[in-house]
A = this chain, B = another copy of it.
Amino acid sequence: MPQGTLLYAQSGGVTAVINATAAAVLQAARKRKVRVLAAHNGILGALREDLIDTSMLTAAEVAGLAQTPGGAFGSCRLKLKSLEQDRAKYERLLEVFRAHDVRWFLYNGGNDSADTALKVSRLAEEFGYPLTCVGVPKTIDNDLAVTDCCPGFGSAAKYTAVSLRECALDVAAMAETSTKVFIYEAMGRHAGWLAAAAGLAGAGRDAAPHLILFPEKPFDEADFLARVAATVKRVGHCVVVASEGIRDHKGRFVADVEGLSDAFGHVQLGGVGSYLAARVAHVLGLKVHWAMPDYLQRSARHLASQTDLEQAMAVGHAAVECALAGQNALMPIIVRDSDSPYRWHIDIAPLAQIANREKKMPKAFIRADGYGITAAARRYLTPLIAGEACPPYTADGLPAYTTPQMRLIKRRLPRMPAGD
């Protein structure tokens, strides 16, 4: 039985399957008889010594987590700065680790988290503290480098494609006397992966979505409106998918012009659909509706992809094996062996190759006219949304999600100094 404690933390925006990764981590660690603590609300819990003893979870509860969206242990948005700038915080982390004999640290998140895990591992080395840091990939944005895809993305992509297909049927039935233009706003700050996934809802020039707006392509309003008008003339209606992160030729977010953004004193994305809808109504005089599923798209566990679920569990399992083998500063990644039939396997990659990088969509995935996806994109995306991983439902018609009460263990250190 390996000596020491494994600390697991969730980071950044949660997904439909990040708890499946957590479940796999717990299952793999239990098989190896390793004690697992989970940080409450991500790295913040590690800093505050807010730790959860996962041994209180029954095997059934752990299995239930794999079918539950959200972040069971809480997540956080907190990016630690450089080792120099945030040295006190990094040292505090090591203090907490030492107090609880944490020998393995698994950080489940995106590229920021990979960066944090990497820095913690470097500091531990500097201090001669024996620690193995392993990143575990997760993000609906699908923008992690090296890995072929990211756990969480496939389910959000499936949600997007299915929802688009459904509402497109609605619009088509009503367009004659009602809504002519429908705009679906997809998440995606810098990369249009989810918007691209909407393209799976239909194929061919006249199938919805008729126009996709990618953040990778500068938004040209006049050209966009002309294409909407032409589509309505040709098809009778027009279904548009807009990435929240589209920018104009000067690189400014289109959503910036929307009133809500200003209310925060900083750029809050979401609302580009509202802006586009107003322009379509004003300039083209067409009846328009728009939808913004926001968090629904990243928490729709009821519509999770089986591929995504399997990969989310596989990286969790591999991360534990990797950590216990003392393989430091690495991240399990997904390698694609073939598109059709879809085959993949888990490999490991250095965190240094992943931290702080952002993978954009390949140019070859965006159609020449800039408003749709290519056959290459379909080949890449299709297997990621394949298979239905439905959760069980209660007799009351709701998914039987598992939300055990988590209790924090007794602290062994003084509280973190104020201001940190």
Contacts and interface: CB of A to CB of B under 8 A. Distances in A.
Nearest to A341: B395
A205 to B, nearest CB: 16
Given A294-B291, A303-B302, A174 B75 contact: yes
A414 interface: no
Interface string A152-169: 000000100111011111
Interface in A1-22: 10, 13-14, 16
A312 B177 CA distance: 24
A173 B75 contact: yes
A77 B289 CA distance: 15
Interface stretch (A81-89, A95-103, A277-285): A277-285
Interface in A170-210: 170-174, 176-179, 182, 200-201
A281 B264 contact: yes
Contacts of A263: 277-278, 281-282
A129 interface: no
B382 A387 contact: no
Interface string A211-230: 00000000000000000000
Contact of A293 (B74, B201, B274, B296): B296
A270 B289 CA distance: 8
A293 B163 CA distance: 10
A395 B386 contact: yes
Given A177-B41, A293-B293, A397-B161, A277 B300 contact: no
Given A270-B289, A289-B294, A305-B397, 10 more contacts: A14-B174, A69-B166, A70-B166, A166-B299, A200-B398, A259-B278, A264-B281, A307-B397, A386-B397, A388-B390
Interface of A: 10, 13-14, 16, 41-42, 44, 68-72, 74-78, 158, 161-163, 165-174, 176-179, 182, 200-201, 259-260, 263-264, 270-271, 274, 277-278, 281-282, 287, 289-296, 298-303, 305, 307, 382, 385-388, 390, 393, 395-399, 401, 403
